[in-house]
Amino acid sequence: MALTHTGRLRLHTQRLPGRGGGPGGPTAVFLHGLVMDNLSSFYWTLAGPVSRAGHEVLLYDQRGHGRSERPSTGYDMDTAVADLAALLGALGLDRSPVHLIGNSFGGALALHTALVRPDLVASLVLIDAQLTGDWVEDMTDTLSVAALGLEHSRLPEQLAALGRRKEARLTAGADALLNRTTLIEDIAAATAFTARDFAGLRRPVLAVYGEHSELLPGARELARSAADCELCVLPDVGHTVLNEATEGLRGAVLGRLRARAGAVAG
């Protein structure tokens, strides 16, 4: 386990070197989803294959998640971008733009980063990210219900008693994040992206969504409005693209990274 001191807080990080004599190019930075998610969701799905294709990889647990520090405040998008910028600076990766690959809420964070700090970003991969519509209200409601359920149960202790230690640890972390930080309030204060935001995007985007995802309309609006956006829709899957359509996702991501490397080399 590596804890990187960013000057703001300590973030749990993992780095993989680019291997296999691939094209190299910008570092690929992975951004996970909210609450029950952490950097481990990318290990076997995408990070290893991207590393073997020749790209240096950075994985990290976002503020309050996984093994990173859990301050009581600072779960808004702008603070998350500042955390990312500080981490890149602490690791010496801020000298050139990076590829951002974000799943679910991590994709929304990647897009926000490209809008407010385009100097940090070479390209984006958004994996079934929340972009438009009522996602802020829907996510706030979902998180609030989960917080209430965890607050009035002893689920972590029950899981631990059954020997399910990993699940107990994840559930206890979710309880702390939902009930003892400003995460829900900060999410509630967020705003959905607009067509104007998409039109102002100046970085190439690959958006990978499930055919049955309720978030797909936002991706279609992004593809219509952004100057350089490829939309890849994977069949027979909903929001769980990362885990249930891994092969198709992996092919799309590696193909995009190869194309970007070729464009830069050319």
pLDDT tens profile 220-242: 999 999 999 999 999 999 999 99
Q: Residue 99 pLDDT more than 90?
A: yes
User: What is the model's pLDDT at position 164?
Assistant: 80
Confidence of residue 159 (pLDDT cuts 50, 70, 90): low
For residue range 28-63, list pLDDT tens digits in order.
999 999 998 999 999 989 999 999 999 999 999 999
User: What is the model's pLDDT at position 161?
Assistant: 72
pTM of the model: 0.94
Confidence of residue 262 (pLDDT cuts 50, 70, 90): low
| SS3 annotation, the chain | CEEEECCCCEEEEEEECCCCCCCCCCCEEEECCCCCCCHHHHHHHHHHHHHHCCCCEEEECCCCCCCCCCCCCCCCHHHHHHHHHHHHHHCCCCCCCEEEEEECHHHHHHHHHHHHCHHHEEEEEEECCCCCCCHHHHHHHHHHHHHHHHHCCCHHHHHHHCCCHHHHHHHHHHHHHHHCCCHHHHHHCCCCCCHHHHHCCCCCEEEEEECCCCCHHHHHHHHHHCCCEEEEEECCCCCCHHHHCHHHHHHHHHHHHHHHHHHHHC
User: What is the model's pLDDT at position 77?
Assistant: 97
Question: For all residues of the chain together, what is the average pLDDT?
Answer: 92
User: What is the model's pLDDT at position 21?
Assistant: 60
User: What is the model's pLDDT at position 263?
Assistant: 65
